[in-house]
A and B are shown apart, each in its own frame.
Chain A
Amino acid sequence: MQNLAALQRSFSEQGILMCFNGSFTHGIIEEIGTAIRRYLEGEKLTSGSITDVFAVYIEQTQNVKNYLERRRFAPEARNAAVIVIGNAGGMYQVCSGNTIAHSDIEELTSRLETVNSLDKTGLRKFYKERIREPHDPASPSAGLGLIDIARRASTKLEYSFQTIDEEYSFFSLSVSVAGEQR
């Protein structure tokens, strides 16, 4: 870590408050989540806004963790995950990144495009339909995370895929949540 000053400057310029780079365990998700909540309470946000930022963080990190555990990639690919929380002009950004198999990109893109095509009323309806669907007992996921994230976001979900090699890409998801002041 030779150039901590440059890293710090870069974080400041980008409004980055917190970053975790590495494999997400449930314990790490809890600890960082608790720290974020405390920080936001200190920033005098409304309790509704704190819930939104926290919820988006939880759904994103649990999605990443569940996906990487389900796919059982080789260690290097499995451990490539990052979560960044930033603030730009009162708008909180929760960004996650993880390795994804090329073969999963199409389905994920279609789910992202579906939530992005809906307005808040449409998302509410979609969520209510989805929550009544039977749960696959083999999965820890209810398939609601992206819909919940989209319901709390202030803008459409921004995402990208960058090719790493012939097998993997890197998936980035950036979600903006308005931080309303108390």
Chain B
Amino acid sequence: MMDIPATSSTPRVRFIEEKSVLEFVGESYPENSFAFFAPVFEWLNVELPHKEGLRVEVNIAYMNSSSTKCMLDILDALTESAEEGRKISVTWFYEAGNDRALDLAEEFKEDISLPFEIVPRETGKR
């Protein structure tokens, strides 16, 4: 069970057991990104070995540079886990029409070897 509530500068992070979805929703520019994402790494170490697979859904409007580093580290850890046989995929939502948000999604897709889907969402909807 993991459900970290969102604040104005941090996303909601939760694992939805019945759907096997690890979800990030909101904004991400924490005061200290490494401290903020530490519980997620903890969850990956402790809980992920008991899962057969999962889908990661990233729906973050803006991510600062240190959050970007943390997200890449999370996806790297999941890639290693997929290499051990788990079925892991990524769905990355970005605001339709926002070139910068699309660039970021595409850079992640280039650097991550997991199945990676980029999906536009309408402005203001999440």
Contact = CB atoms under 8 A, between A and B. Distances in A.
Given A34-B8, A135-B34, A140-B35, A48 B99 contact: yes
Interface in B81-126: 95, 97-101, 107, 111, 123
Chain B interface residue bracket vs A: 20 to 34
A47 B33 contact: no
A145 B68 CA distance: 11
Contacts of A137: 34
A135 B72 CA distance: 12
Given A26-B9, A47-B95, A52-B100, A131 B32 contact: no
A128 B111 contact: yes
A135 B107 CA distance: 20
B8 A30 contact: yes
Interface stretch (A13-21, A55-63, A81-89, A94-102): A55-63
Contacts of A148: 64-65
Nearest to A133: B69
Contact of A140 (B31, B72, B101, B107): B31
A91 interface: no
A132 B68 CA distance: 11
Nearest to A130: B69
A170 interface: no
Among B100, B101, B123, the most chain A Cβ lie within 10 Å of the Cβ of: B100
Nearest to B99: A48
Interface of A: 26, 30, 33-34, 46-48, 51-52, 54-55, 58-59, 62, 124, 128, 131-132, 135, 137, 140-142, 144-145, 147-148, 152
Interface of B: 8-9, 29, 31-35, 62, 64-66, 68-69, 72-73, 95, 97-101, 107, 111, 123
